[in-house]
Amino acid sequence: MSRSPGRKQENDKISRELFVLTYGALVAQLCKDYEKDEDVNTCLDRMGYGIGIRLIDDFLARSGVKKCRSYSETADMIAQVAFKMYLGVTPSVICSSAAGNEFSLILDKNPLVDFVEELPAERASLCYCNLLCGVIRGALEMVHLAAEVTFLQDRLKGDAVTEIGITFLRKPEDRKHKR
């Protein structure tokens, strides 16, 4: 029996929507469990980190990508392949340092906030999508790239765009192994 070609896209959309709704429920529960936004942010980052260290194997197996030769290439791979594969969006990448180790991922559309209108006033310092920072950091660490990943701008907080900053913590020369 054959499947219609549109069936996979429909299933992906349903899976993505289910994930977004489930994620919203998770964040709401964490907000009930923790009084401070910083504690919720830390918990989301930790969860994301755990996901990232496991997700990298799936990403490498499904994408078939080769080893990146620069931080710029790595940032492009995260935006053009990983975000597209798992969230169905492709952020733009901007290098924000002369050293070439700081990048921003600019999301015009953030699928994790599809069903969120705004953050409650008492949760102004909540970083609702902090899970993404942990996922990126965990995945990069598993391929031996230490990075600091933070939200720089967030539409839920009134910013024009959603921006995730990635700072690679070692110089490119530090990555080379002596043989």
Q: Are strands 92-95 and 162-168 parallel, antiparallel or unpaired?
A: unpaired
Instruction: Supply 19's token pair.
Output: 């994930």
Instruction: Supply 177's token pair.
Output: 């192994």
What's the pLDDT tens digit per position in 96-109?
898 899 999 999 98
**Is residue 121 one of the residues assigned to a domain?**
yes
For the chain, strand residue ranges (E) read 92-95, 102-107, 147-153, 162-168
pLDDT above 60 (res 179): no
**Is residue 135 one of the residues assigned to a domain?**
yes
Cα→Cα distances 144→59, 111, 169, 175, Å: 15, 28, 11, 8
Instruction: Supply 130's token pair.
Output: 């902090």
pLDDT above 50 (res 178): no
Q: Residue 46: give the domain boundaries.
A: 16-168
Q: What is the pLDDT of residue 11?
A: 60
| Total domains present in the chain | 1
**Is residue 91 one of the residues assigned to a domain?**
yes
pLDDT above 90: percentage of residues in the chain: 70
**Is residue 173 one of the residues assigned to a domain?**
no
114: domain CATH number is: 3.30.1380.20
**Is residue 4 one of the residues assigned to a domain?**
no
Specify the pTM: 0.87
